[in-house]
Homo-oligomer: A and B are copies of this chain.
Amino acid sequence: MAVDREQVLKEAAALLTRRATTSMDEIARAAGISRATLHRHFAGRDALIKALEEQGIAQFGQAMDSARLDEGDAAGALRRLITETEPVADMLAFLATENQLFEGDEVNAGWDRLDARITALFRRGQEEGDFRIDLSPAWLAEALYGLIGAGAWAVHEGRVARNDLHHSIAELLLGGIRRSMEK
């Protein structure tokens, strides 16, 4: 009976996002396996975290591929990205919350690559005259991560319906809060 590695990581991400000090034992029990088995699949806590980061990065990268960031207008690409991102929102929330842990060079490099693609998307939007230029691409990228994290958290807390998530994030990011469009 092979352990579902992906499922274990998903549980771990959910727990660690809520409480970074969650013990290996708690993670194991949440995943429905014993601590011994958890250690058989992940050499240790560090290895688990690293696997989590790697999978998160891989999934985020796939979401970006699926979103075809280079096609169409930047706003549409951003909407697609947010939609594609939804299934891995927990993972992303973990990455955004815990990216301070990045100490491995590879993981760092992997994240930098993703970040560069996001930043480039915002820059493209600005160059095409679609996005305002008084907000830096770097900030917009950080804001996107923050909103995705906040969204995942809000869903967890039941403050936002999961179905509304992309809409909530995309509309806020693209259109802001204001109802009327006059300055």
Q: How distant is A63 from chain B, measured CB to nearest CB, in Å?
A: 19
Query: Is A97's CB within 8 Å of the partner chain B?
Result: yes
Give the interface residue-count category, chain A.
Answer: 35 or more
| Per-residue contact bits, chain A 152-183, to B (CB 8 Å; 1 contact, 0 not) | 01100001100010011001111111111111
| Per-residue contact bits, chain A 16-31, to B (CB 8 Å; 1 contact, 0 not) | 0011110000000000
Asked if A20 and B18 make an inter-chain contact with CB atoms under 8 angstroms apart, the answer reads no
Nearest CB in chain B to that of A130: its residue: B179
Asked if A172 and B159 make an inter-chain contact with CB atoms under 8 angstroms apart, the answer reads no
Q: How distant is A14 from chain B, measured CB to nearest CB, in Å?
A: 11
Asked if A135 and B168 make an inter-chain contact with CB atoms under 8 angstroms apart, the answer reads yes
Count of chain copies: 2
Asked if B146 and A178 make an inter-chain contact with CB atoms under 8 angstroms apart, the answer reads no
Which stretch in A64-72, A81-89, A137-145 binds the other chain? A137-145
Nearest CB in chain B to that of A161: its residue: B136
* Residue from A135, A139, A150, A167 having most chain B Cβ neighbours under 10 A: A139
Asked if B168 and A139 make an inter-chain contact with CB atoms under 8 angstroms apart, the answer reads yes
Residues in B whose Cβ lies below 8 Å from that of A142: 150-151, 153-154, 159-160
Query: Is A129's CB within 8 Å of the partner chain B?
Result: yes
Query: Is A56's CB within 8 Å of the partner chain B?
Result: no
Query: Is A42's CB within 8 Å of the partner chain B?
Result: no
Give CA–CA (A148, B173) in the complex, Å: 14
Residues in B whose Cβ lies below 8 Å from that of A20: 19-21
Asked if B147 and A177 make an inter-chain contact with CB atoms under 8 angstroms apart, the answer reads no
Q: How distant is A165 from chain B, measured CB to nearest CB, in Å?
A: 9
- 10 tightest A-B contacts by CB? A146-B150, A176-B176, A20-B20, A18-B100, A181-B181, A146-B146, A175-B176, A132-B179, A142-B154, A138-B159
